A and B are shown apart, each in its own frame.
Chain A
Amino acid sequence: MADIAVDSSTRAARKGGRFRPSALWLTLPGALFLVAFLLVPSFQLLSLSVEDRATGAFTLDAFIRILNGGVYTRVLFNTFLIALQTTVGCLLFGYPLAYWLARQSQRRQRLTMLFVLLPFWTSALVKNFAWLVLLGRNGSVSALLAALGMEGADSLLFNHATVVFAMVHTMLPLAVVIMLPVMNRIDANLANAAGTLGASRAQAFWRIYFPLSMPGVAAAGVLVFIASLGFFITPMLLGGARETMLGQLIIMQINQLQNWQLGSAIAVMLVVTALATCFVYDRVFGLSAISQGGGGMSHGPLRRLGHYLAGRAGDTCATLELLAARLFGQGRLDWILSTYAWLLIALLLLPIIALVPMAFTDSTFLSFPPQQYSTRWFSEYLNSPLWVSATLRSFAIGLSTALLTVLIATLAALGLARTQNRLSGLVFLLFMAPMIVPPIVIAIALFYLFAKFSLVATDLGIVIGHTVIALPITFVILLATFKGHDWRLEQAAATLGASPWRTLLRVTLPLVKGGLLAGLVTAFLQSFEELTVAMFIGGGMKTTLPKQMWDDVLLQVSPILAAASVVVLLIVTTLFFILERARPAQR
């Protein structure tokens, strides 16, 4: 993602001269949409958090309660710690994988990426739930570890380490997806040049490659951190007594206790933390990659500190690697890297693959591997009005979301691709904004807003919420499509006498249809897997498939859940292959 923005801005700048300020108007519908359904509700939440519940007077009580050192402070600290550990884990384990992927030939890379993207598009709920079974006291992993002589192998679940592990597992594909394009852009000749000038391979990597890949690492770090802040599924399913995160408290305050003041205050804390993180990251490592070059590099002292840190780390690692290379030999190191990459990929896929046999069990409860196989849970799924109607609703909502999102994003991307003025940076930021607000905050902010317009517990409400969430990624895909498009073709068609309508149908559409389809599928998938917004806006009355699965986890837990997960997997995989085919050829 990050690379596309940078790439496109330079390209647009290069074209220079030929810009049409009027095209920026095309971003207006999307901008209005985001102001109405993201900015306004967010500020409303802020005002709720400082309003006394009884009198409506201004008060900072809720914030004092959060920061007074008691239970809320502890949860705030916990949340921050878990998110930080998750981020570090994702970068540490994800970086070598992304590096390995970047060194593959283009064909092989696309093929291997499938294995990373499948877990990326599989919902956190499904993956975490599978861990619950796999890592259980009598699960197969425990048995394996116990056989290997590990102590405490039978108590893998319900502790801090497991929560962080499962969260890293959930977020790692996201980190790789963000880091990879940046690495793909690094010119391999640079390493050769360094070699010619006498640098060892390790030095060339750590002093040249590593710093060049930093924008991707920084972007991945920020997005993983922010996504982790609002998490509630993993700590709820796999956490012990102490692993409570802010997201869970928001749900409890709003859904159970109807305390909007405290619930909003916690949400505000989440957003403030997210914004502060963006700011600090930008100062230290430079986030310009995400914000489209906005204003060029800053050269403050913090930034120099960032450079210094990266340089020192690089030197240290280079020395270490040199030692390792002496010990094992360079060829062996390559071999270690690719073994590592495949093992990590296998681990990413493990819970997803394990679900399939679980779904085909004959027993009334979930186990892995099952004793006897049958398809009874699939027929239960197909015969249950609850599950079928939830599935159908998810399809309808996903489709509507996809159409609405692509419509808004296409206009905006067209507008932004064909303009270059001071406002466009701001517009780009606005369209990226849903990414830096945790979904749970979007969900409750919209819940409050929608209650006033009778949109709670309506399908339309869920569609609007999903559109807000799906916009950034869809917009980035379409922006890349239109920026890559050569508009001189339209001019040529016009010169040859084609009417604008004909030009659109015969020239423009055929050229951008891959990007449009990719946008549609991406938006659909975002909606199809989304739980948080569906949970709040659905009001317990409009149940989507992920919500139905969540209810089942809380109410019943039968193998029907695994069967439904397999159905979801099938749908996601199918769409995902369509997406792969539709992806515009890489440049």
Chain B
Amino acid sequence: MSAIKGISRRSVLKGASAAAAGLAMPMVWTGNRAFGAERITVSDVGGAVGDAIKQAFYLPFEQETGIQVVGVAHDPDPVTQFKLLVDAKSYIWDVAMVTQDHVVRLTTPDNYLEPLNVPAEEAADLLPGMLTDDWMGFSVFGIVMAYRTDTMSEHPPTGWRDYWDSAAFPGRRGLYKSPWGVLEMALIADGVSPKALYPLDVDRAFAKLDEIRPDVAVWWGSGAQNTQTLQNGEVDLSDTWTSRASTAIASGAPVKIVWDGLYSVDGWSIPAGTPRADLAREFVRFCMRPEQQAIYASLSKNGPSNTKAFEHISPEHAAVMPTAQENFQRLGELDSAWWGENYDAMAERFQEWLLLG
């Protein structure tokens, strides 16, 4: 992505700048309540997670501070949008939900993020790595496996090795139509420890993928499709992101998560230069509180980044979270820096493998 230079991207992104005045009014509902009050706009991933965020952070923050929070959903990959709005200085977002590899892409070569300026003592209870200069992680999600208990009950799979063994564990399989996370799963199935994956042995991963390819019936392309295929039994076992599998489980589908794989973290970042940066910082700090994170985690089933949050979470809820001790020890961390650097090349090679392999 660093190769994006020259007039093409520059002119495209810069171009929108004068539109700022015109489009500053975001596509949101402006109730009377907002009149004259302070307000920030926060963009999240929408869906069930978006609802949990609203309950845990937006509404309580509004109640406590009187600052209205308007939530909007952004694209699955918000980087292009993020850069566009900073270059155009049209701050339709004041805070945005991004992952660590988004942060890598948003800070190299140019910096698009506002510093958070959180005092070190406030971060004492956070898991290591959850707070950087310009990003605060609040939602730990697992990239793991899920299966249908109704069709796989005789031979429930226990890890990625079983996913690859379609003779002993028959069933229709789903896999993400992207190299992101999938290469890691292949290596784990091949015996690499989740904690010792990086830098990825890409050739080995693709060789392992060759083995499972004929058994994959559904290549899912979006989180929504992942939930849907697990919900309606289109697949018997699939890779999944924990909140996506949890949504299927919450809707009553007989689905179970196997804690073997990786974790990654969603967090908040502030677009560089937003005139409401101070309010945005206040909001981000609010989201570090264990009580709020506990509400979010209980609703979304994504893990909190504040270790104290577990004091407010019921044991049965805690048990299904990625950050629960028993689950967390089986998960390695997805290396965002590696993906930031290699995503383009991997995406192309994966596409080629899908089509020509």
- Say whether A365 contacts B251, CB under 8 Å: yes
Tell me which residues across on chain B come within 8 A of A259, comparing CB atoms.
Answer: 4
From the candidates A48, A136, A543, name the one contacting B234 in the complex (CB within 8 A): A136
Task: Give the residues in chain B near A158, CB-CB below 8 Å.
Answer: 217-219
- Whether B177 lies near A56 (C-beta < 8 A) is no
Bound-state CA distance A155–B235 (Å) is 10
> Which residues of chain A from 447 to 477 have any CB-CB distance to chain B below 8 Å in the complex?
447-448, 450-458
User: B20 — which chain A residues lie within 8 A by C-beta?
Assistant: 454
On chain B, the residues within 8 Å of A55 by CB distance are: 6
A457:B80 contact, CB within 8 angstroms:
no
Shortest CB-to-CB span from A549 to chain B, Å, is 12
Give residues of chain A (36-87) contacting chain B, Cβ–Cβ below 8 Å: 48, 51-56, 70-71, 74-75, 78
- Given A257-B344, A542-B27, CB of A53 within 8 Å of CB of B80: no
For residue A148, CB closer than 8 A to chain B, the reply is: no
Q: Does A495 contact B (CB under 8 A)?
A: no
| Interface segment out of the listed A163-171, A322-330, A523-531, A554-562 | A554-562
Q: Which residues of A contact B13 (CB under 8 A)?
A: 451
Segment from A92-100, A236-244, A292-300 that makes contact with B: A236-244
Distance between B279 CB and nearest chain A CB, rounded to angstroms: 20
**CB pair B28 A385 closer than 8 Å:** yes
Which residues between 1 and 44 of chain B lie within 8 Å of chain A, taking CB atoms? 1, 3-9, 11-20, 22-23, 26-29
Q: Which residues on A sit within 8 Å (CB–CB) of B19?
A: 454-458
Q: Is the CB of A554 within 8 A of B16?
A: no
Tell me if B172 counts as interface (CB < 8 A to partner A): yes
Whole-angstrom distance from the CB of A569 to the nearest CB of chain B?
22
A241-B216 in contact (CB<8A): yes
Task: Say whether B27 contacts A541, CB under 8 Å.
Answer: yes
- Contact pattern, A 367-390, Cβ under 8 Å of B = 1, otherwise 0: 100000000000000000110111
Question: Does A195 make an interface contact (CB < 8 A)?
Answer: no
Q: Find chain B residues with CB under 8 A from A455 CB.
A: 19
**Residues B144-195 near A (CB distance < 8 A):** 172, 177
A192 proximal to B (CB < 8 A): no
Cβ 8 A contact of A54, one of B6, B76, B90, B92: B6
Is A541 a contact partner of B351 (Cβ separation < 8 A)? no
Tell me the count of chain A residues lying within 8 A, CB to CB, of chain B: 66
Rounded to whole Å, the gap between the CB of A261 and the closest CB of chain B is 7
Q: What residues of chain A lie closer than 8 Å to B81, measured between beta carbons?
A: 539-541
- Residues from chain B with a CB closer than 8 A to the CB of A552 are 224
B3, B14, B74, B355 interface centre (most CB from chain A within 10 Å): B355
- Taking a contact as CB atoms under 8 Å apart, the answer to whether B28 and A555 are in contact is no
Tell me the bound Cα distance from A51 to B223 in angstroms.
Answer: 36
| Closest Cβ neighbor of B28 among chain A residues | A385
Our pick among B15, B92, B217 for the contact of A453 (Cβ within 8 Å) is: B15
Alpha-carbon separation in the docked complex, A289 to B233 (Å)? 50
Asked if A457 and B16 sit within 8 Å, CB to CB, the answer is yes
- Segment of B45-53, B109-117, B263-271 engaged in the interface with chain A: B45-53
Are A451 and B222 closer than 8 Å at their CB atoms?
no
A413, chain B: closest CB distance, angstroms = 32
Decide: A451 and B224 in contact? CB cutoff 8 A: no
A551 contacts the other chain (Cβ, under 8 Å)?
yes
Q: Does B300 contact A (CB under 8 A)?
A: no
* Across-interface contacts of B232 in A (CB, < 8 A): 133, 136-138, 365-367
Contact check, A244 vs B354: say whether CB atoms are below 8 A apart.
yes
- Interface residue A162 (Cβ < 8 Å from any Cβ of B): no
Task: Say yes or no: is B348 at the interface (Cβ < 8 Å to chain A).
Answer: yes
Chain A residues with CB under 8 Å of B351's CB are 71, 244
Are A386 and B219 in contact, with the CB atoms below 8 A?
no
Contact mask for chain B residues 306-326; partner A; CB cutoff 8 A; 1 contact, 0 none: 000000000000000000000
| A365 touches which of B28, B46, B231 (Cβ 8 Å) | B231
- B327 CB within 8 Å of chain A: no
A456:B16 contact, CB within 8 angstroms: yes
Neighbour of B9 across the interface among A260, A456, A457, CB < 8 A? A260
Least distance between A532 CB and chain B CB atoms (Å)? 15
Question: Which residues on the A side are within 8 Å of B80 (C-beta)?
Answer: 255-256, 258, 540
Interface string of A281-297 (1 = CB under 8 A from B): 00000000000000000
**Of the residues B6, B27, B75, contact of A53 by C-beta under 8 Å:** B6
| A452 surroundings in chain B (CB, below 8 A) | 11, 15
CA distance A385 to B29 in the complex (A): 6
Chain A residue at smallest Cβ distance from B227: A557
Is A364 part of the contact surface with B, judged by Cβ < 8 Å? yes
Name the one of B29, B76, B352 contacting A555, with C-beta atoms under 8 angstroms.
B76
Contact residues of A: prevailing secondary structure: loop
Contact B18 A260 (CB under 8 A): no
A389 to B73, CA, bound (A): 13
Known: A555-B47, A556-B47. A258 touches B4 (CB 8 A): yes
The CA of A137 and the CA of B148, in the complex, are separated in Å by 14
Chain B 245-269, CB within 8 Å of chain A: the 1/0 string?
A: 0000011110000000000000000
Whether, in the assembled complex, A157 has its beta carbon less than 8 Å from a beta carbon of chain B, the answer is: yes
CA distance in complex: A451, B14 (Å): 7
Q: Which residue of A lies closest to B7 (CB)?
A: A56
Q: Across the interface, which residues of A come within 8 angstroms of B354, CB to CB?
A: 241-242, 244
A277 within 8 A of B: no
- CA of A543 to CA of B225, assembled, Å: 21
Q: Provide the residues of chain B in CB contact with A240, threshold 8 Å.
A: 219
CA distance A278 to B239 in the complex (A): 45
Q: Which A residue's beta carbon lies closest to that of B352? A: A71
Q: Is the CB of B355 within 8 A of A554?
A: no
Q: Which residue of B lies closest to A561 (CB)?
A: B224
Whether, in the assembled complex, A423 has its beta carbon less than 8 Å from a beta carbon of chain B, the answer is no
Residues of A within 8 A of B27 (CB): 389-390, 393, 541-543
Are A71 and B47 neighbours in the complex by a CB distance under 8 Å? no
Known A-B contacts A258-B80, A454-B19, A542-B27; the reply to A448 vs B12 at CB < 8 A is: yes
Smallest CB separation, B239 vs chain A (Å): 15
Which one of A390, A448, A540 contacts B75 once the chains associate, using CB atoms below 8 Å? Answer: A540
B344 contacts across to A, CB distance below 8 A: 257
Residues of chain B within 8 A of A255, CB atoms compared: 75, 77, 80
Is A494's beta carbon under 8 Å from chain B? no
- Bound together, the chains give a CA A258 to CA B13 distance in angstroms of 11
Is the CB of A320 closer than 8 A to any CB of chain B?
no
Residue A313 is within 8 A (CB to CB) of chain B in the complex: no
Q: Is there an interface contact between B224 and A556, defined as CB atoms closer than 8 Å?
A: yes
Q: In the bound complex, do residue A554 and residue B6 qualify as a contact, i.e. CB atoms below 8 Å apart?
A: no
> B222 contacts which chain A residues (CB < 8 A)?
553-555
- A143 to chain B: closest CB distance in Å? 12
In the complex, what residue of chain B is closest to A264 when comparing beta carbons?
A: B8
B356 sits at the interface (CB 8 A): yes
Which of A53, A242, A451, A453 is within 8 Å of B355, CB to CB? A242
Residue of A nearest to B29 (CB): A385
Asked if residues B15 and A450 are in contact (CB atoms below 8 Å), the reply is yes
Quick check: is A363 within 8 A (CB to CB) of the other chain?
Answer: yes
Q: Determine the distance from Cα of A236 to Cα of B220 in the docked complex, in whole angstroms.
A: 9
> Is A252 located at the chain interface by the 8 A CB criterion?
yes
Nearest A residue to B177, CB-CB: A241
> Whole-angstrom distance between the alpha carbons of A451 and B13 in the complex?
7
- Which B residues lie within 8 Å of A554 (CB)? 76, 221-224
CA distance A157 to B231 in the complex (A): 16
Kindly list chain A residues whose C-beta atoms are within 8 Å of the C-beta of B88: 454, 457
Residues of A within 8 A of B12 (CB): 260, 447-448, 451, 456
Q: Are A53 and B8 in contact, CB atoms less than 8 angstroms apart?
A: yes
- Establish whether residues A451 and B234, one from each chain, have CB atoms under 8 Å apart when the complex forms: no
Mask of A428-463 contacts with B, CB within 8 angstroms, 1/0: 000000000000000000011011111111100000
- A selection of 21 A-B contacts at a CB cut-off of 8 Å is A71-B355, A75-B355, A133-B232, A136-B234, A138-B233, A241-B355, A255-B80, A258-B4, A258-B80, A363-B251, A365-B231, A388-B29, A390-B27, A448-B12, A454-B17, A454-B19, A456-B16, A541-B92, A542-B23, A554-B223, A557-B225
10 extra A-B contacts, CB within 8 A, seeds A55-B6, A256-B77, A454-B88 = A71-B355, A389-B27, A389-B28, A454-B20, A454-B22, A541-B27, A542-B27, A555-B47, A555-B222, A555-B223
Top 6 A-B pairs, shortest CB-CB distance = A385-B29, A451-B15, A454-B19, A71-B352, A260-B8, A556-B47
